[in-house]
Structure formats: structure tokens, C-alpha cells
């Protein structure tokens, strides 16, 4: 299919295609980071992760409405306020859920899966009751729309750039918090031996709650960012859940670097294959490849044992 085009055209397409892969990569990292914290660090399977993302999207929607009504002159920057709010609201709900539900199930990881599935049903219906079954439209300020022209033939999506920047910041933040500031050490200590961690003075309940809240908060930010590129409806969260889990599992649950590496591998594979094949086949091939690799090298990728 590449015959009959000039080198210049092909070069521009390659550049844009590379960038498309990078955007997909950022999207995947953003989706998976929250889950990597919750599943990787705590061993909890949170099937309601998608619903926490959509909560972030709805918060962004409400923020945009508030700005349109009360602060129209500041509409250009509402998105940054929304990201912070999304983090706070989703994180707070996450902590509430941890307190009410998750802490009773730490010894039964498979059961967290079922309970959080129930939670996701409830959240979907809550969104439907509050915002209606239809999609809501989240307005963006003009500067966030459209493309940046690098050259005449190379255009870079601005919303993609914003997602990339946001992802970079959050990934660095998570890295610092979990691996540099000792928080991760506490989390891992609690996970390895709850009684012992408690005995050496770690407030285990607080560690659990804040970690879960943090993961949900990051999901909220992801949801907020996705209002730029996807749909906001009560059931939209379901679209992300399989991909997200596979990325985290593929990367090896405990390591942030693993999550990022796996997001990179999957996004590049998918974005390249989609260019040459139809979208459906690309997705099937990538999923199958991921599973095949997981079968061949489970020991290399599964670096962490789930808390039992």
C-alpha cells in the first residue's frame, strides 16, 4: 500500500504514525498506572477501575459547566482545575470504597474481583441516574483543539501532546512516591507481613487506604484526560478494563518500569498493525501475542506474588 507515494509523503506519515504510537502509549500508561498501584502494590483486582476513570470524566464535565456558567473568562484553564478535582473526587471515593469494602477482602484476591464488579454495576447505575443514559459532551477550550503544524505535511494533535505531558508528570510522581520516598516500601512491607509491619510502627490501615485512594485518584485523572479523546457515558469505563489489566499483567505487576515497557510494546504493536491491517484484526493479533508471550515467559514477567 506504500507504492506510488513520494519519499516526503512517506516520511511525514511515518513521523505522524510514530507520534500516534506515542499517544497510544501515553494513553495506555495513564490507564494502567492507577491499576499498577492497586493491583501491583496491593494485589487487589479492581474491576471498577473503569468506573473510577469515568468518574473523573464526569467531574471534568461538571467543572466545564461550572466555568461556562460562573467563570466564562477563565474557561481556557478549566481543564487543569478539573484534573485536580478529578483526582480528589475519585481518590476520596476510592478511600471510601477501601474502608467499606476492600479491607475486608485482602486475604481473598479473587473475591475482590467479584465485589468490585458489583461495585462497577452500582456506579454505572448511579451515573445513569444522575447524568442520564446518553453521552455528555465535554467542551474543550479552543487552544486544546486541533493540531500543531510542524511542517506543511506533519501535524501533531494538541490533545495528544497534553495527554503525553500529563502522563509524564504522573508517572514521575508515582515513581517518586512509590520508589523514592519510601511509601512503596511501607506498602510492600504491609503486603508481605501485615502483623510485622504493624509491629514496627507502620499504620497498616492508613497505608492501605491511601494507596487504594491514590490508585483511584490516578484513574480519575486518566478519565479527565480521556474527555479529550473519547466518550463520556455511564458504560464507557468498561471499554478500557481488559486492555488495562493486560498491560499491567504483561508488564509484571509490581514494577512501574514493567508497566511502562509493556504499555510501550503493546501500543507500538497495535498502532503499527492498525496501519497495515484492519482495526479488528490488529487487536486480535496483539491480544494473542500478549497471551502467547505470557505463556512462554510467565516467570520473567510475573515478578510479584499476590498477597494470599
Mask 39-68, x = binds other proteins (CB under 8 A)? x---x-x-x---------------------
CB of 141 to other proteins, least distance (A): 10
Residues 262-281 close enough to bind other proteins by CB under 8 A: 270-272, 274-275, 278-281
What is the rounded distance in angstroms from the CA atom of residue 264 to the CA atom of residue 256?
Answer: 12
Mask 139-158, x = binds other proteins (CB under 8 A)? xx-x--xxx-x-----x-xx
Question: What burial class does residue 60 get, using C-beta atoms within 10 Å of its C-beta: 0-12 exposed, 13-18 middle, 19+ buried?
Answer: buried
Residue from 234, 217, 260, 80 nearest 162 by CA: 80
The set of residues, in sequence order, having a beta carbon less than 8 Å from that of 183 and lying 6+ positions away, is 177, 211
Consecutive H or E run containing 155? strand 155-157
Sign, Cα dihedral of 201, 203, 208, 210: negative
Task: CB nearer to other proteins: give 113 or 202.
Answer: 113
Consecutive H or E run containing 157? strand 155-157
CB of 231 to other proteins, least distance (A): 3
Task: CB nearer to other proteins: give 159 or 186.
Answer: 159
What is the rounded distance in angstroms from the CA atom of residue 61 to the CA atom of residue 155?
Answer: 27
Residues 191-250 close enough to bind other proteins by CB under 8 A: 226, 228-236, 238-240, 242, 245-246, 249
Residues 89-108 close enough to bind other proteins by CB under 8 A: 101, 104-105, 108
Select from 15-23, 65-73, 195-203, 254-262 the region that touches other proteins (CB under 8 A): 15-23
CB of 159 to other proteins, least distance (A): 5
Amino acid at each position: 500500500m506504500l507504492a506510488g507515494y513520494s519519499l516526503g509523503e512517506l516520511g511525514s506519515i511515518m513521523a505522524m504514525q510514530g507520534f500516534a504510537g506515542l499517544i497510544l502509549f501515553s494513553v495506555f500508561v495513564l490507564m494502567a498506572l492507577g491499576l499498577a498501584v492497586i493491583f501491583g502494590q496491593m494485589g487487589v483486582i479492581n474491576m471498577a477501575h473503569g468506573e473510577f476513570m469515568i468518574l473523573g470524566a464526569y467531574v471534568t464535565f461538571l467543572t466545564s459547566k461550572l466555568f461556562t456558567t460562573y467563570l466564562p473568562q477563565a474557561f481556557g484553564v478549566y481543564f487543569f482545575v478539573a484534573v485536580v478535582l478529578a483526582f480528589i473526587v475519585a481518590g476520596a471515593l476510592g478511600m471510601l470504597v477501601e474502608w467499606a469494602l476492600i479491607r475486608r477482602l485482602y486475604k481473598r484476591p479473587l473475591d475482590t474481583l467479584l465485589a468490585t464488579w458489583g461495585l462497577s454495576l452500582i456506579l454505572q447505575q448511579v451515573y445513569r441516574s444522575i447524568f442520564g443514559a446518553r453521552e455528555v459532551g465535554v467542551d474543550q477550550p479552543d487552544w486544546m483543539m486541533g493540531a500543531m503544524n510542524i511542517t506543511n505535511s506533519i501535524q501533531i494533535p494538541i490533545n495528544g501532546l497534553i495527554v503525553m505531558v500529563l502522563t509524564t508528570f504522573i508517572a514521575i510522581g508515582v515513581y517518586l512516591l512509590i520508589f523514592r520516598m519510601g511509601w512503596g516500601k511501607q506498602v510492600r512491607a504491609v503486603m508481605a507481613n501485615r502483623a510485622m509491619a504493624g509491629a514496627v510502627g507502620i499504620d497498616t490501615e492508613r497505608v492501605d487506604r491511601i494507596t487504594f485512594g491514590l490508585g483511584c485518584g490516578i484513574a480519575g485523572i486518566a478519565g479527565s484526560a480521556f474527555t479529550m479523546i473519547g466518550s463520556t457515558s455511564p458504560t464507557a469505563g468498561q471499554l478500557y478494563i481488559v486492555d488495562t489489566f493486560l498491560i499491567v499483567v504483561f508488564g509484571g505487576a509490581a514494577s512501574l518500569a514493567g508497566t511502562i515497557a509493556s504499555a510501550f510494546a503493546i501500543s507500538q504493536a497495535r498502532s503499527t498493525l492498525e496501519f497495515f491491517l484492519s482495526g479488528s484484526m490488529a487487536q486480535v493479533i496483539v491480544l494473542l501475542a500478549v497471551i502467547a508471550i505470557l505463556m512462554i515467559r510467565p516467570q520473567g514477567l510475573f515478578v510479584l506474588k499476590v498477597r494470599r
